[in-house]
């Protein structure tokens, strides 16, 4: 699971917040070169099934697309 932004301050704040909540988060940066518009992007990543479950329990995202993808993942694990 990851969140991407072009704002370094937001990325750092997310990483700190996730780590304070007990979610192991890593911050990566990369330069995107899309149609000659070079921008640095920052990606805060939470990896692993355990951290994903913890994220869903703590954060409780409301976006139906993400909730459905998570449910599909959980259902595939029980097969």
How far apart are alpha carbons 49 and 14 in whole angstroms? 19
pTM for this entry: 0.82
Tokens of 24: 């192991």
* 62 pLDDT higher than 80: yes
* 60 pLDDT higher than 90: yes
* 51 pLDDT higher than 70: yes
Number of Cβ within 10 Å of residue 26's Cβ equals: 13
Which domains are delineated in the chain? Answer: 2-77 (3.10.28)
Contact status, residue 24 vs residue 46, Cβ threshold 8 Å: yes
Query: pLDDT tens digit string along 12-37?
Result: 999 999 999 999 999 999 987 766 67
């Amino acid at each position: 699971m990851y969140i991407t932004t072009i704002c370094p301050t937001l990325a750092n704040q997310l990483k700190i917040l996730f780590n304070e909540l007990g979610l192991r988060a890593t911050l990566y940066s990369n330069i995107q070169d899309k149609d000659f518009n070079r921008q640095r992007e920052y990606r805060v990543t939470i990896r692993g099934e355990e951290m994903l479950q913890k994220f869903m329990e703590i954060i409780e995202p409301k976006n139906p697309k993400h909730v459905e993808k998570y449910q599909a993942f959980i259902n595939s694990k029980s097969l």
